[in-house]
Amino acid sequence: KFQQLLEAIEGAGTVSNEDEGFERVLKDENGLFAFIHDVYNVRYQFYSNCSYSSISETFGEYSLAIAVRQGSTLSRELSEALIILRNNNFFNDLENKYWNSSWRDECTAENDSEGITLRSLGGAFICTIIGIIFSIIVLVYEMIEKRRKEKNAIYGIPIRVKECHKNEYIKSVKISPKIRY
């Protein structure tokens, strides 16, 4: 899997910075260029620009850390400040401000569809109904024709051949359809 991904990346070429990456996504008319970048920058672009789409949640997510010299007083002060900010929902407020998912509701995607509706299947329903009506008409016509043929039919019943006047032979007797056996 990763070999194919690497080959695709090498085939498309890499970008020198994030601006170039986001620009290439927008300029790619075929939709075959994907930009893999820091989750926070991608989320911001996704929520603030309706031209982007996201294909999955984050993968390989990582945490950030702050490095200070060992024994520095900044270590304790920064830790306390970060705890206070986290407890006061400062980071959640920032996330809601810059990665507001309700902004995305204002976007109208070109290929959004309502799914299958009665209106989109109208032609199929009409064809089915016409087919059923046509089948019923043909059935009624065939039943009428069968009854008409039976009514007008004459059944031939073979009998023994015997001699009649003037050397004529009777080969069969014709009986009306009312007589059945």
**Residue ranges per structural domain of the chain:** 2-106, 122-175
Residue 173 β-bridge partners: 157
pLDDT average, residue stretch 137-145: 95
Considering the chain, what is the average pLDDT of its residues? 77
CA distance 177 to 174: 9
For residue 180, pLDDT over 50 is answered with no
Contact 34, 25 (CB under 8 A): yes
Helices 90-98 and 73-87: angle between axes, nearest 10 degrees: 60
pLDDT average, residue stretch 116-138: 86
100 versus 128: which is more confidently predicted? 128
| 3-state SS, residue 69 | coil
What's this model's pTM, rounded to 2 decimal places?
Answer: 0.44
For residue 70, what are the CA distances in angstroms to 36, 64, 78? 35, 18, 13
Contact 43, 101 (CB under 8 A): no
According to the per-residue pLDDT averaged within each range, which of 132-141, 147-156, 168-177 is highest?
A: 132-141
Query: Which alpha helices (H) appear in the chain, and where do they start and end?
Result: 2-12, 18-27, 39-48, 73-87, 90-98, 122-152
pLDDT average, residue stretch 54-77: 78
pLDDT average, residue stretch 8-29: 85
Confidence of residue 12 (pLDDT cuts 50, 70, 90): confident
pLDDT tens-place string over residues 164-174 = 555 555 555 55
For residue 48, pLDDT over 60 is answered with yes
pLDDT average, residue stretch 83-103: 82
CA distance 178 to 151: 9
